[in-house]
Structure 1
Amino acid sequence: MFRTGPRNLITDVSGLRVGNAADARIKSGVTAVLCDEPAVAAVQVLGGAPGTRETDLLEPHNTVETVNALVLAGGSAFGLDAAAGAQAWLREQGIGFAVQDQIVPIVPAAILFDLANGGDKNWGRYPPYRELGYEAAGVAAADFEIGTQGAGSGALTAGLKGGLGSASTALDNGVTVGALVAVNPLGSVTVGRSRHFWAAPFEIGDEFGGLGLPVPMPHDAREIRLKFSEKPQGASTTIAVIATDAVLTKASAKRLAIAAHDGFTRAIWPSHTPFDGDLVFALATGASGIEVSPEQAITLGAAAGATMARAIARGVFAATGAQNDPFPNWRMTTGG
């Protein structure tokens, strides 16, 4: 039986802190995940329109084994500046990869498209994401808010506001799995036009409303509902981090990232479209000291998918409204 960690956040994985920063005027923001010690990292991209920085170095055959932080940001390609801000903060703390007499913080990043969400994007010559990245790194802590926060501040789904979600799972073998996700898909997180989340079978307690799946299933459950029915190109993307305190290699961390994508398909219909840049980073802090056997890796992967699905639903469930929102938040919906 899966159970949550004490916070039900990715920071239940020992060795991680998370910070959020946002600009309410532009309806966008940044989330930084800081590693207390360099963590083994990997990535898996399954969406057709990704926006990334430093993802090639995460492949198992490449040299750098660990990272100092990960950054998730809104802003489409402009948001990639956020990693430079987080990197600047880390360098000021003397944190990074030692190269001769220089310190280079390793900060891979991914972005989502939130440029058409009702915010004022007239930010002048330079976008604000570098400063938001710096701010997010500086406030990183074990406790943080989800919903309309950080990289999820301007996120949208098909018909509902998206948001920043997180969840954790404590396994019987002493390993903890945590997920963090900025939920901004082209598809829908609810069944048809009901309030029921596709992720309902994995819910623990009533962490996103306790509604379960609808009975009977609505006639429109299989209907494909998209955020934008016309010209969806480049208009979405769900970006996430799956983390564990188990001891993993880069190759096994990549398998964890692959497994976590199951959570996307369990919580979003449809997912991994040509117009989503769906991506999962994996982090392994090794803080538990527990090495996972091949048999235990099956449970670890299942937990990764389930935890990710829960985090996606929690991000939408916790979203709050703001002026000029194109869609309502989940709490404003009724019926079904």
Structure 2
Amino acid sequence: MNNLITDIAGLSVGNAQDAKLASGVTAVLFDAPAMASIAVHGGAPGLRDATLLEPGMTVERVDALVLSGGSVYGLDSMGGVLAFLRESGRGFPVGSIKVPIAPGAVLFDLLNGGDKDFGREPLYWRLGYEAAAAAGQDFALGNAGAGYGATTANLKGGLGSASAVTASGFHVGALVAVNAVGSATIGGGPHFWAAPYERDDEFGGLGWPPAWPGEPKDFHMKGLDPQNTTIAIVATDAALTRAEAKRLAIMAHDGMAHALRPAHAAMDGDTIFAAATGRAAATPTVSDAAEIGMRAADCLARAIARAVFEAEALPFAGALPGWREKFGVHEKNF
């Protein structure tokens, strides 16, 4: 176990980013088409091919899922992933043609100091192709892929991941690009809202603060414009139906509520994709499906904290600090 979403058998992850642009793309590729669905709880989402993921739609399985920076321009990244998939012979068969299925979501990172003067053709198609081509079992966190240019209300955001195993042996994982309107940390200190779910000091091992801050210090917001979004993918090796995958995506949103304050606001586009590779030998029971959803929420909370913990300040004037830069890497005396 590497504490990454790639601990789920049947998928790989690739990142691509551009330092000058200060943005990037993350692609999750499935070895075989995976059952998938989606739950959108934020008020300002940016999505491509999302409706086909709802129960009752004709095409139930996807070849890839994509997370991207760039706001609306980042929607081009799914085209790059589709091009890679087509070259790889992947896709839903329609007569003699194969049509790859790669839904995705974008976050807003256009005001982070990077050079967004990319002219007539944004770079995201190329970044999407490069992310897909780079897919493997190991990948970077923090300033990587879709999390490269992400921010939160008070600290640099980033890319995070975590995994777990249920009592019945099903594997669960989460991958998230944290660009939240709110904060992942408590008050003005280093402690994470996700502290109760931490494993093996994966984001510093600080636990709860010794003294709880008052309510006024407990509320941070990045801005009043729709320039935020936390986008995520949760996955399991259990075999799920489309309806069960939908429920998994809904339950996983609890992880955002556990790790970010506020979450699911009108200025957020908080979106979670859920995917099931079906590689586990056992068939999940109703109880198993409930635990998978619970563990997915836990993994997402941990992944959000890891994203912020691993992120570093961008090299631009006025950039938000990284967690380590502001609080230190191993310091626990707060």
TM-score by length of 1: 0.96
> 2: distance between equivalents of 1:298 and 1:171?
10
Aligned residue type for 1:66: R
Match of 1:327 among 320, 325, 328: 320
Give yes or no for contact 2:39–2:271 (8 Å, CA) kept in 1.
yes
Which residue of structure 1 aligns with residue 201 of structure 2? 206
Aligned partner (choices 301, 307, 310) of residue 318 of structure 1: 310
Matched, 1:176 2:168: no
Aligned to 2:277: 285
CA distance in 2, matches of 1:98, 1:329: 46
Matched to 2:134, the amino acid is V
In structure 1, what is the Cα distance between the partners aligned to 2:282 and 2:253? 23
Unmatched 5+ stretches in structure 2: 328-332
Q: Deviations 1:189-226 (Å, cap 9, x if unpaired)? A: 00011100000000001000000011221225763201
Is the Cα–Cα contact under 8 Å of residues 191 and 221 in structure 1 kept in the other structure? no
1:12 corresponds to:
7
1:239-295 CA deviation, whole Å, 9 max, x = no partner? 000000001000000100001100000000000000110000000000013222112
1:304 pairs with 2:299: no
User: What's 2:101 paired with?
Assistant: 106
Distance 2:169 2:22 in 1: 39
Structure 1 spans left out of the alignment, 5+ residues: 1-5
Q: Hey, what's the Cα distance between the residues in 2 that align with 1:73 and 1:156? A: 14
What does 1:167-246 correspond to in 2, within 5 Å?
A: 167-220=162-215, 223-228=218-223, 232-246=224-238
Q: Give the secondary structure class of the aligned counterpart of 1:333.
A: helix
| Same amino acid, percent of matched pairs | 55
CA–CA separation in structure 2 for the residues paired with 1:289 and 1:180: 24
Q: Tell me if structure 2 keeps the 8 A contact 1:193–1:220.
A: no
Note the alpha carbon deviations across 1:75-98, whole angstroms, 9 max, x for none: 000000000000000000111111
Structure 1 SS opposite 2:30: strand
Residue 57 of structure 1, aligned match among 38, 52, 62: 52
- Aligned to 1:34, which of 11, 29, 36? 29
Aligned residue pairs total 328
Residue in 2 aligned with 1:3? none
Instruction: Give the TM-score normalised by the residue count of structure 2.
Output: 0.96
CA contact under 8 A between 2:192 and 2:259: conserved in structure 1?
Answer: yes
The corresponding residue for 1:21 is: 16
SS at match of 2:83: helix
Out of 66, 87, 90, the residue aligned to residue 82 of structure 2 is 87
Name the SS of the counterpart of 2:149 in structure 1. Answer: coil
Answer whether contact 1:19 1:140 (CA < 8 A) is retained: yes
CA RMSD of aligned residues (A): 1.1
Contact 2:33 2:61 in 1 (8 A): yes
**CA distance, structure 1, for counterparts of residue 62 and residue 18 of structure 2:** 27
